[in-house]
Amino acid sequence: MKLIIGSRKSTLAQTQTNMVKQMLLTRWPELTVEIDLIDTRGDLNRTDPLPEIGGKGLFTLELEDALRTGRIDLAVHSLKDLPVEDSPDLAVVAIPTRAAAQDMLVSRQAQTIAQLPKNAVVGTSSRRRAAQILVLRPDVTIRDIRGNVDTRLRKLDDPDQVYDAILLAQAGLDRLGYKLEHAHPLPLEQMLPAPGQGALGIQGRTDDTRVNPYLQALDDPVTRSQVTAERAFLNSLGGGCSLPVGAWATMSDDRITLQGMVASLDGKTVIKIEDDAPIVEAEQLGRKVAQNAIDQGATALLEIWGPSIG
C-alpha cells in the first residue's frame, strides 16, 4: 500500500513530515510512503509582514485542497498553524506526542528578557510573543522578522539587521537539531505558548477508511487532551491562530489544568486565567476559561488586532 504525505517545502516542515513518515514505516515497514512538497501562500510571500498577507490558513489551505482532490492521502501541519475550525470533509486524525512547547530567547547579549539592553530590538512576527515581551519590557522595540529558522538566525547575526534578540519555538530548534548556546528557554509564567505549540496535526479525509486506521495509531491521548483544551480556548474567543493569545494545558491524575492569556499588543493590558476540570471535559474547560477571559474584557482587546499570525 502506498501513502502520499503532503508537506510544506520549508526545512522544518520537511523534517516534521519525515518524522511522521518514519512513525508509519516503523509500525508498518511494508508501506510505501512518499512525500509531496506543496507551496502555501504564507511560504510564497516571504517579505511582507504576515498581518498584511491575510488571516487563517496561510500555511495550510493548499495542503487541504490537495487532500480533498486526492493528490495526497494525509497532510502534516504544525498544529499551531492549523485553524481551529474543522475544514469541511477533513479532520485532524492524529496528534502524536508533543515536543517542547516553550519559546526561546535567542540572543548573544542576554539570557533572559530582563537582561536585554535598554531599548533592545526584538525580532518576531507573532503578536502573542510581542505582547508578552512588552508586558515585561515596554522599552523594547518589536521588529517583524520573516523567513525559516536558518534565515532568522542569520538575520540575528547580521549587523545590518540590528536585532538584539529573536524569538523562536523550542520545538522547531530541537527538531532541526540546533544546539545553540545563545538560545534560552523562556519560563511559561513569562511567555505562554500558542495553543497547540510543539504538537503536530496529521490531517486526513473524514471518510477515508483506507488511510485513517494507520493515522489513528499515531495519536497520543495525553497530547490530544491538552491541545483540545488549548484550541477550544482559542476558538471560543472567536479568533484563529493569529491573535495575541497564549494557552498551556497540563495533566495530573484524572484532571487537566489550563492556563490562558489574552493581551493587548502594547502589553499594557493582560488577562490571565487558570482553571481545571476532569480530563474528559478538556473541550468544555477551554470554553469555560475563554468565557472567564471574555468576562474580564478579552473581547475588546481581540477586536483591535484583526488577522495575523500568532
Residues annotated as catalytic are 81
d(CA 16, CA 199): 10
What count of residues does the chain have?
310
d(CA 75, CA 92): 9
The dihedral sign for the CA sequence 38, 39, 41, 46: positive
Residues 6+ apart with CB under 8 A from 194: 80, 126, 128, 241, 245, 246, 247, 310
Residue environment code for 71-102, b if the CB has 16+ CB neighbours within 10 A, otherwise e: ebbbbbbbbbbbbbeebeebbbbbbbebbbbb
Residues 6+ apart with CB under 8 A from 157: 108
Q: Using alpha carbons only, what angle is made at residue 250 by residues 249 and 256, rounded to the nearest 5 degrees?
A: 85
Residues 6+ apart with CB under 8 A from 270: 131, 132, 135, 261, 262, 263, 264
Left (φ > 0), alpha (ψ -120 to 50) or beta: where does 196 sit? left
230's grid cell: 488549548
